[in-house]
């Protein structure tokens, strides 16, 4: 009986107020809201990864927010609907709200890794706001340690790469754009005006 009731209550709480009633827990700088016991099993790892990432960002001279909320959406549908996210997006950082929203932790684990995804998104909350997308994404990938398998775009213009990163037409193109952004960061390419 309770098992049937609890998930729907969680949905209502998510819609009305992300900060109330849903299962959540906190560390020194993070609050994580989960909606299933399957995701809650990853909490210890998630907190450890986030606190470590925060420390690493500070040692790089970046400024992560003092408090960050992580919302782990209960289903792919909820995640996509809430963020109007394309099929291949796994997580998103919102700088204004100091918030990270993700698909289920198990889904992150299957695509790219839980720790890497959290590090990537936290990087976006700490990076300078005025960086172009390629620098932000390439740097986030480098910081996270994610492994990319896209083939680099050769001779692509900065504006074209920015456009692909902003509105990738497919997962394959996004993988190539991210790999190219990482390469530009590794090569320490200058930002053009």
Tell me which residues touch Zn ion (CB under 5 A).
137, 140
DSSP state for residue 98 in the 8-state scheme: T
Residue 33: CB minimum distance to Zn ion, A: 21
Residue 107: CB minimum distance to Zn ion, A: 17
Our CB check for Zn ion shows the closer of 14 and 114 to be 114
Our CB check for Zn ion shows the closer of 10 and 139 to be 139
171-186 and 133-144 are packed helices; what angle lies between their axes, rounded to 10 degrees? Answer: 80
Q: Which of 94, 27, 29 is nearest to 66 (CA)?
A: 29
∠ Cα 50 79 166 (to 5°): 80
Our CB check for Zn ion shows the closer of 35 and 105 to be 105
Our CB check for Zn ion shows the closer of 5 and 87 to be 87
For residue 41, which phi and psi values (nearest 5 degrees)?
-65, -20
One-letter-per-residue 3-state SS of 47-63? HHHHHHHHHHHHHCCCC
Of how many residues is the chain composed?
A: 193
Residue 76: CB minimum distance to Zn ion, A: 19
Q: Which of 119, 53, 68 is nearest to 90 (CA)?
A: 119
Residue 95: CB minimum distance to Zn ion, A: 12
Our CB check for Zn ion shows the closer of 39 and 137 to be 137
d(CA 10, CA 172): 34
Residue 137: CB minimum distance to Zn ion, A: 5
d(CA 171, CA 164): 11
């Amino acid at each position: 009986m309770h098992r049937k009731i609890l998930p729907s209550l969680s949905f209502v709480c998510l819609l009305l107020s992300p900060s109330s009633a849903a299962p959540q827990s906190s560390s020194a700088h993070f609050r994580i809201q989960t909606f299933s016991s399957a995701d809650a099993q990853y909490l210890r790892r998630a907190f450890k990864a986030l606190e470590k990432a925060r420390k690493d960002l500070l040692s790089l001279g970046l400024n992560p927010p003092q408090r960050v909320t992580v919302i782990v959406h209960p289903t792919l549908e909820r995640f996509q609907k809430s963020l109007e996210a394309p099929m291949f997006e796994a997580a998103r950082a919102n700088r204004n709200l100091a918030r990270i929203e993700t698909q289920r932790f198990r889904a992150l684990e299957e695509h790219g890794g839980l720790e890497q995804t959290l590090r990537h998104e936290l990087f976006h909350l700490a990076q300078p706001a005025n960086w172009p997308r390629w620098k932000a994404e390439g740097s986030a990938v480098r910081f996270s340690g994610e492994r990319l398998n896209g083939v680099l775009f050769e001779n692509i213009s900065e504006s074209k790469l920015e456009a692909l990163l902003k509105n990738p037409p497919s997962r394959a193109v996004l993988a190539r754009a991210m790999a190219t952004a990482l390469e530009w960061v590794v090569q320490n390419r200058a930002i053009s005006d």
